[in-house]
Amino acid sequence: MDAKLRLDAIGRTLVLALQENARASYAELGRLVGLSPPAVAERVKRLEDQGIVKGFRAEIDRGRLGYSLSAFVRLRCRADRFPAVEEFARSVPEVVECHEVAGEDAYVFKVVARSIQHLDETLLRLAAFGATTSSMILSSPVANRVLAPTGD
């Protein structure tokens, strides 16, 4: 596991600001932290090089793209199936998250679907690896929370 990197006050402010608005210009960020745009660009580049900022992505409304259903799916399977499960997860666009977990289940997936039938088809494909349990997501009162870097 990588050692935790220490951030100064400017680094912490930039990490928060980028989570809230990854499209903020270097000039906007500079006004926020009291640095010139080139200095901010260098600081953001350093955050990327350190692996703190892993990328910049657009937040998409999947429902407007036709994926009106979301579910969490837990999978129990033997360890020898892990490589095939992970390859499956990487290759199926309906799997938007895949997490290997400790406990009775081996994996937790977040999947999206256009309909109940489409969800059922995805669940059947996952069931080829082991026993599944699914929970339909009704709402997400907390999603994509902005995290403040720890101060220690």
Q: Structure tokens of 122?
A: 């995805």
Tell me which of 34 and 3 has the higher pLDDT: 34
Closest CA to 98 of 85, 80, 83, 81: 85
Average pLDDT over residues 36-46: 96
Looking at residue 13, what is its pLDDT?
94
Q: Structure tokens of 126?
A: 């996952």
Q: How confident is the model at residue 144 (pLDDT cuts 50, 70, 90)?
A: confident
- pTM of the complete model beyond 0.75: yes
**37: helix, coil or strand?**
helix
CA distance linking residue 21 with residue 56, whole number of Å: 10
Looking at residue 116, what is its pLDDT?
96
Taken in order 50, 52, 57, 63, the sign of the CA dihedral is positive
CA distance linking residue 136 with residue 119, whole number of Å: 10
Q: Structure tokens of 114?
A: 């256009």
Can you name the residues that pair with 107 across neighbouring β-strands? 75, 100
* Tens-place pLDDT, residues 73-115: 999 999 999 999 999 999 999 999 999 999 999 999 999 999 9
Residue 145 pLDDT > 90: no
Q: How confident is the model at residue 151 (pLDDT cuts 50, 70, 90)?
A: low
Which of 58-62, 117-121, 134-138 comes out lowest in average pLDDT? 58-62
